[in-house]
Structure 1
Amino acid sequence: MAPVTTLVLAGSRGAEDPVAKLAGVSHKAFAPVAGVPMLVRVVRALLATPDVGTIAVAIERPELVREDAELSPLLDSGRLVLLPAEGSPSRSVVAALKALGTPLLVTTADHALLRPEWVSHFLANLPDDADVVAALARDSAVQAAVPGTQRTYLRFADGRFSGCNLFAFRTPAAMRAAEVWRQVEAQRKHPLRMIRLLGPWAVFRFLIGQLSLGAALARLGAITGTQAAVVEMPFGAAAVDVDKTADLELAERLLAGR
């Protein structure tokens, strides 16, 4: 496999982001976890993954990256490049696809536990015919790895899954999926508009737990005009990111256990 260009989403959620506020930083990406900024941890894991090539960081304040002692030399070497964050994850991905093309691996700066073997497993198991792929972990794998953790699960007829903050936009057609993501994100405060976009029957079946994961992927593919797929991750801890202060404590505890 040729090295894959990777995008790390490191945009700010504003001054009231609980993790950034607790750490006293403008961007959650620079909140330290066990003494190391989350963004640095993510970049280290990507650098240690053989199939990862150039790493792009999308952030509003590029000087934060330039001023970091570990990241600055990577900018000088060209291994790390900077892109402006575009106000939301989907808009940043759309802009990155236009600038960098496909295939594009996407992750987030708050994926502080990210490990090279997780990235390698995801890339090695991408379906050949898929345009866009997401990594998911089944609830049983998450609870086995991190007993008692509270994660957000998508409930399908064939199981509950949590996202692992790894996405592959494999082909130019994947841009259509990113554009639909942007539309959904823009309508998140307007439920009726979202239902019209996604289809009321599919939304209803999902809400009552009767929509299978395969049916959901087929619906997503029909909406976006792409072949959508998932890679089920055997690493339950891959579903742990740092969205709230309790996650920060959990991540530090898990890192100490390593």
Structure 2
Amino acid sequence: MIDPIPAIVMAGSRPGPDPLLTGSGASTKALLPIAGQPMLVHVVRALRASPGIGSIAVLAQNSAELAAEPGLAGLADLHFADSGAGISSSLAAALPPGDDPVLVTTADNVLLTPAMIAEFVAGAEGSDVAVAMVEKDVLLARYPESKRTWLKFRGGWWSGANMFRLRGRRVLPLLDFWGRIERDRKKGLKIIAAFGPWLLIGALLRLFTIEQGIARAGLRFGLKATVVPMSEGEACIDADKPVDIELIEKIMARRQAEASA
């Protein structure tokens, strides 16, 4: 059995106005209500219900505001800390000591479930860096209307599922690198190109699978990097746009109906 690992939830706001908040009454995206509860509450409750997760830290620019959310009251081993200006620098400051692993997710990953978490944690075991991904056919088979950012590799197109496993402070060089390119996080080819011309050429020509591509990218930093293919398409549907929220509301309503049936 895998020992529980701590989790970090990135719940900060990006610079500039967020169109999702217009007219909502919420001060930050993490507190935007979906299916009757703030996004952050859905994510933290899924983590807390997961046997594979230990302590949970929530990072945000104004963490005290999130800590006051009633939906989070009484949850065990839940902590809050103020984050810095960027995702990578904030995460680097929150990593556990030594080589202890940590799971990282985001407050807008509202469809997260304990089953998804268990699947990812098991698949990520033994890696320095693991990334949860969903293959395009897996998502579109059930949700053809969903629009995601796709990375094209041999054997399929892939989208990130907002879950990562990082093995402690040995990933600091990678986070420093990510801090310089995270502004392009939605531009697949720019991200690939940043890891070097051979990775870009290989991706353009589809010379290798995404597993091989991620492994090559990790080697640049002396890390064992792996992809964990998620079996549920819902794992990559996060709340980025109003159309995403509409779909998420429908999925959550269906889940509730199935649970009460």
Q: Using the TM superposition, name which of 147-156 and 229-238 deviates more.
A: 147-156
- Aligned pair partner of 2:217 in 209, 220, 224: 220
Q: Give the structure 2 partner of residue 109 of structure 1.
A: 107
Cα RMSD over matched residues?
2.5
Structure 2 CA distance, aligned partners of 1:80 and 1:238?
23
Query: Structure 2, unaligned stretches of length 5 or more?
Result: 256-261
Are residues 1:2 and 2:3 paired?
yes
Structure 1 CA distance, aligned partners of 2:215 and 2:101?
21
Q: C-alpha displacement at 1:168, in angstroms? A: 0.3
Q: C-alpha displacement at 1:171, in angstroms? A: 4.5
Say if 1:100 and 1:240 are closer, same or farther in 2 by CA, change over 3 A.
Answer: farther
Are residues 1:204 and 2:201 paired?
yes
Structure 2 CA distance, aligned partners of 1:23 and 1:222?
44
Structure 2 CA distance, aligned partners of 1:93 and 1:159?
30
Percent same amino acid among aligned pairs?
A: 37
Structure 2 CA distance, aligned partners of 1:22 and 1:14?
18
- Give deviations 1:20-57, integer Å, cap 9, x for gaps: 23523221111000111000000110111011111000
- Give deviations 1:175-212, integer Å, cap 9, x for gaps: 33222222322687xxxx97885212322332454443
- Give deviations 1:192-236, integer Å, cap 9, x for gaps: x97885212322332454443133123212222111001111011
Q: Give the structure 2 partner of residue 83 of structure 1.
A: 81
Say if 1:195 and 1:250 are closer, same or farther in 2 by CA, change over 3 A.
Answer: closer
TM-score normalised to the size of structure 2?
0.87
Are residues 1:69 and 2:70 paired?
yes
Are residues 1:168 and 2:169 paired?
no
Say if 1:166 and 1:100 are closer, same or farther in 2 by CA, change over 3 A.
Answer: farther
Structure 1 CA distance, aligned partners of 2:20 and 2:184?
26
- Report the 3-state secondary structure (helix = DSSP H, G, I; strand = E; otherwise coil) of the residue aligned with 1:256: helix
Structure 2 CA distance, aligned partners of 1:196 and 1:113?
31
TM-score normalised to the size of structure 1?
0.88
- Give deviations 1:33-82, integer Å, cap 9, x for gaps: 011100000011011101111100001112212321122433xx5x1111
Q: C-alpha displacement at 1:140, in angstroms? A: 1.0
Matched-pair contact (CA < 8 Å) for 1:135–1:231: yes
